[in-house]
Amino acid sequence: MSDKTTERSSNIRTLRRVAPYLWPKGEGWVKRRVVLSLTALLIARLVSVSTPFFYKAAVDSLGGETRGEAWLLAIGAIGLTVAYGVARLSAVGFNELRDAIFVRVGQRALRKLALETFRHIHRLSMRYHITRKTGGLSRIIERGVKGVDFLLRFMLLSVGPLILELSLVTIIFAVVFDWRYAVVVMITIALYVTYTFKITEWRVKIRRQMNEQDTDANQKAIDSLLNFETVKYFGAEGREADRYDVAMAGYEKAAVKTGQSLSALNFGQSLIITTGLVIVMVMAAIGVQQGILTVGDFVMVNA
């Protein structure tokens, strides 16, 4: 079995292990909060997708290109601008409401996992605790517990909603404009997702090295302080400091690679998104020049 297959199997097992915290048995209040969070998220996405329509209508109204739509004429440019602001604020508000509702679910999961881990450590053999590395163990537990909150939010509030929003945007481009715009959007999304996954797989390896170096450095620091009397008795302060510095040097090197890889990820993502955006804006600009589209349509593409 290849390393990639093994890693994916491990990721799937991790997700399955964490998933029950989103829908625990016998805790109806958690399930209700999950449903309410998803509802707020869905409303936020729908409002966010509809916001550019108000922007387009306001621009067309100011340019006298309302084409006689009764509701546009009745509301007017000022009303449409206010509606645009209300829509944007509503999208932000529902997103914050989602986080406010979900925070108790995430914190309860962290508490339960921390307790479960604590009990598991106490069930381990005496031999394990005699040969323990307290500093490294404490850092691993801390990192693992905090990672659960990220996984829960990733599973519930990122993947599904992102797919929904991208699907809605693609449909809107196909209906409001034409299929060519939708094709550009789909290609851009495909390139973005592919690039993100490839770079993320590379970054995971670097991040793992950084975590290992961080664990090693923390282990040396804590264990040295716990054995302060022994270190002092043998006058080994300098040797302990050198060991800690070597560990921190390894962490420094890995942290630099992590930061540089993040910059590469962000720049590549921006390049893909900007290129796709420029292409559809050029197409819209040509449409405006040909009289097929309005200035509001051009603005809507960028919104």
pLDDT tens across the length of the chain (303 residues): 555 666 666 667 766 777 777 778 888 888 899 899 989 988 998 998 889 988 888 888 877 665 555 555 556 778 888 889 999 999 999 999 998 998 888 888 888 888 888 888 888 777 776 666 665 677 777 777 777 777 777 767 777 777 788 888 888 888 888 899 999 999 999 999 899 889 988 888 888 888 888 888 888 888 888 788 888 888 888 888 999 899 899 999 999 999 999 999 999 999 999 999 999 999 999 999 998 888 888 988 887
- pTM over 0.95? The answer is no
Q: How many CB atoms lie within 10 A of CB 109?
A: 21
Tokens of 16: 């399955």
Phi, psi of 285 (to 5 degrees): -60, -40
Closest by CA position to 60, among listed 81, 83, 46? 81
- Rounded Cα distance, 237 and 291, in Å: 79
In the chain, the domains with their CATH numbers are 20-149 (1.20.1560.10), 158-303 (1.20.1560.10)
Instruction: Tell me the residue ranges of DSSP E strands in the chain.
Output: none
